[in-house]
Structure 1
Amino acid sequence: MTKVTAGQIIKTFEKWAPKSFAYDWDNVGLQVGSLNKPVENVMVTLDVVESVVDEAVEKKVDLIIAHHPLLFVNLHQINVDTPKGRVVQKLIKHDITVYAAHTNLDVAEGGVNDVMADLLEVKDRRPLIPTETKKLVKLAVFVPDSHLEMVRDAVSGAGAGFIGDYSHCTYQVSGEGTFKPQEGTNPFIGEQGRLEQVREKRLETIVPQEKLSEVLQAMANAHPYEEAAYDLYPLLNEGRTFGIGRVGQLEEPVSLKDFADKVKERFHVSHVRVAGNMEKTIKTVALLGGSGEKYIHKAKRSGADVYVTGDMTFHMTQDAVEMGLNVIDPGHHVEKVVCAKVQQYLEEHCNENGALKVLLSEVDTEPFAIQ
């Protein structure tokens, strides 16, 4: 059975969380090892610390996919007498490749912030801090009636035709196409040197700019003609907006106290820090996985009644409360909730032949304990 490589796994993973989503200051992607590494066992973890690497060695893991980058600050030397140096040495010694998906997984739909929002049942959500809006292209391709359904399904399957929560959005107009096959051609319909008239459909659909090459390839593969006739039009319509954090609504208003209890329960943490009026009614929620204190003003301007994020400091929390924004800090480590989603994605998209085993790290990398 042919083994998949780390590079093949990462290529598929980055269709969900492309590196282009990451912030400029971030260090995502390959951290240690080789993308040519054949992989049987993958382990998903929040952090890459020595105990996690020991676990990977014991379980014969070939590839670690982590949320937090192992190499975040520039290394000027690999001193194996330091904790970081020992980790790098051990990874190289045991031929384990490490890949990190950090802010790109925060931004990605279904990533860290959406998993957190799902657990808290936050609906009708949007990015808290938009980072980019995708460009759209109109594709118009001319298809013989006999192959309309085949071409439509092919381009839709490659990512065209999405409008909001609707897929396969197309428009067809009937008409008549003409062409004359020249010398050296092998026409699907007609003969060389003779003008042909064919009943065709003009199939129109919307394509995200970043998926255009895949859609055109799928169109060409499904189209019966040697040379498919098609037009591309840049659109002023705004595509889907991506960003970090989420803002949305609860189904029913609750008190800050009750919502804090829900955060504690759903994120499986021993405690949360809460600031604000415990009897305050909560309906609109802003959240951001990791350290989000610098975005308290964004959260307030979003209309949020409460901001759920980690690593809130004393003075920033005071400022938030003074401006009327309640705060719940469940800790930075709650980002671990995305690990199961990563595992699920890899199992569904990278394991067609059943040769890949995807594990969740069982090491608790939370550095804090409540005494």
Structure 2
Amino acid sequence: MQVKELVSYLNHIAPFTYQESYDNSGLLVGDPNTEIKGVLVALDCIETVIDEAILHGANVVLTHHPIIFKGLKRITGANYVERTVLKAIKNDISLIAIHTNLDNVHFGVNHIISEKLGLTDVKILSPKAATCYKLAVFAPQTHADLLREAMAKAGAGMIGSYDSCSFSSEGEGRFRPDEDATPFLGKAGELEVVKEVKIEVIIAEHAISAVLHAMKATHPYEEIAYDLIGLSNTNEYIGSGMIGSLEKGMEAMEFLHFVKKTFHCGAVRYTNPTKSVVKTIAVCGGSGSFLLKDAIRAKADVFITGDFKYHEFFDAENQLMIADIGHFESEQYTSEWLVAQLKKKFTNFAVRLTSVNTNPINYL
């Protein structure tokens, strides 16, 4: 199996098109045609992780955080980023990152956190807009079912827990082929009137290419009439953060102790509780202060994330309790989840979870 096949699978579970504009997920180092011997999974890519990959004969390192985040103008070994990349290249180790795209999908980082907390009825805290398109294609009635089926198999018509969703309406299509045309219906130079079906489907951004390819491969016409229209609708399955409910409310400080134990926190920085009993919990793996207003708007009792700055704690305005558990701590279970997914999907190479603690922060 080649590296590009692993990248393709990762794109399936968390499409890279959903990474943030500032991010750098995907294959960062290595030849996509390289055969995989073993994969080492970690939260961060640092020199000691590369050393561990070398020790175990793994030639792919998959991490959540990309080692190449900002543009590299030179690779001389002047800092840990350059040294890590150099060591990977020298030892023919491919580096892959699956970062904010895994943050932004429904069953990604924030779902993992929610499961650890035992949250129910979870949903995206801040859904993204403009991630879907409407495709309308006009076809003869004889081929309408074939088109619907082909496009559905390629990913069209996925709405939440439903697939193969479409809407059809009937009408007349008119066209006149010229002398150079080889029409499926009609004759050159003659106006043709055909009973046609207009098929409308919703397509997620990442599936556009596959759906259009399936449509063109199945449609009988030489020239296909279709509309592809971007939608401003929010996508409830793509976005930042997550919110859900505890099965039973917990006393606020009891809940904080539960969180600290669950995520092995050296410390939890928190604001004063606004309720004696908490039940509605918002979460965001990594740096989530940008979602504070969304958590307040959603009437969360507690917002769990990492990397809050001092003055940002005041922004809670006594409307909820902020619980900063640390960046590493909030995302640490991501690596275990990735290992489990790869082991279920692939059996032709070894997958290991790193034994290196990549957290750069210590607590007294």
Structure 1 and Structure 2 fold alike (TM over 0.5): yes
What per-residue deviation string (whole Å, max 9, x for no partner) do you get for residues 121-164 of structure 1? 15242233x5542242132343555x655443321121211233
Equivalence for 1:9: 6
Equivalence for 1:32: 29
Does structure 1 residue 330 correspond to structure 2 residue 328? no
Report if aligned partners of 1:257, 1:279 keep a CA contact under 8 Å in 2: no
1:279 and 1:44 map into 2 onto residues whose CA distance is: 39
Equivalent residue runs for 1:1-371 within 5 Å: 3-4=1-2, 6-75=3-72, 77-80=74-77, 82-120=79-117, 121-128=119-126, 130=127, 132-142=129-139, 144=141, 149-172=145-168, 203-222=199-218, 225=220, 227=222, 230-232=225-227, 234=229, 238=233, 240=235, 242-269=238-265, 272-277=268-273, 280-317=276-313, 319-320=314-315, 322-333=317-328, 334-346=330-342, 351=346, 354-371=347-364
2:358 is aligned with what amino acid? T
Report if aligned partners of 1:308, 1:328 keep a CA contact under 8 Å in 2: yes
Q: How many residues align?
A: 361
2:234 and 2:303 map into 1 onto residues whose CA distance is: 27
2:72 and 2:230 map into 1 onto residues whose CA distance is: 44
1:105 is aligned with what amino acid? L
The structural deviation recorded for 1:59 is 1.7
The structural deviation recorded for 1:263 is 2.5
2:228 and 2:206 map into 1 onto residues whose CA distance is: 14
1:255 is aligned with what amino acid? E
| 1:26/1:229 CA distance change after superposition, 3 Å | closer
Where 1:70 maps in the other structure, the secondary structure is: coil
1:356 and 1:230 map into 2 onto residues whose CA distance is: 46
The two structures have a TM-score, normalised by structure 1, of: 0.78
What per-residue deviation string (whole Å, max 9, x for no partner) do you get for residues 189-248 of structure 1? 99999999998765442233552331122234445x364855325365625154322234
Report if aligned partners of 2:18, 2:104 keep a CA contact under 8 Å in 1: yes
The structural deviation recorded for 1:116 is 1.6
1:28 and 1:119 map into 2 onto residues whose CA distance is: 25
1:96 is aligned with what amino acid? I
Which deviates more from structure 2 when the two are superposed, residues 294-303 or residues 115-124?
294-303
1:97 and 1:61 map into 2 onto residues whose CA distance is: 9
The structural deviation recorded for 1:85 is 4.2
| 1:78/1:266 CA distance change after superposition, 3 Å | same
1:74 and 1:197 map into 2 onto residues whose CA distance is: 57
2:124 is aligned with what amino acid? R
| 1:366/1:220 CA distance change after superposition, 3 Å | same
What per-residue deviation string (whole Å, max 9, x for no partner) do you get for residues 271-323 of structure 1? 54443228623233222111233543443344222110113344433x14553
Where 2:300 maps in the other structure, the secondary structure is: coil
| 1:151/1:355 CA distance change after superposition, 3 Å | farther
The structural deviation recorded for 1:270 is 6.0
| 1:181/1:77 CA distance change after superposition, 3 Å | closer
2:105 and 2:264 map into 1 onto residues whose CA distance is: 23
1:201 and 1:347 map into 2 onto residues whose CA distance is: 44
- The sequence identity of aligned pairs, in percent, is 32
| 1:190/1:366 CA distance change after superposition, 3 Å | same
Can you give the 5+ residue segments of structure 2 that lack an aligned partner in the other structure?
none
The two structures have a TM-score, normalised by structure 2, of: 0.80
2:231 and 2:28 map into 1 onto residues whose CA distance is: 38
1:153 is aligned with what amino acid? E
2:208 and 2:74 map into 1 onto residues whose CA distance is: 43
Where 2:121 maps in the other structure, the secondary structure is: strand
The structural deviation recorded for 1:117 is 2.4
1:358 and 1:346 map into 2 onto residues whose CA distance is: 7
Can you give the 5+ residue segments of structure 1 that lack an aligned partner in the other structure?
none
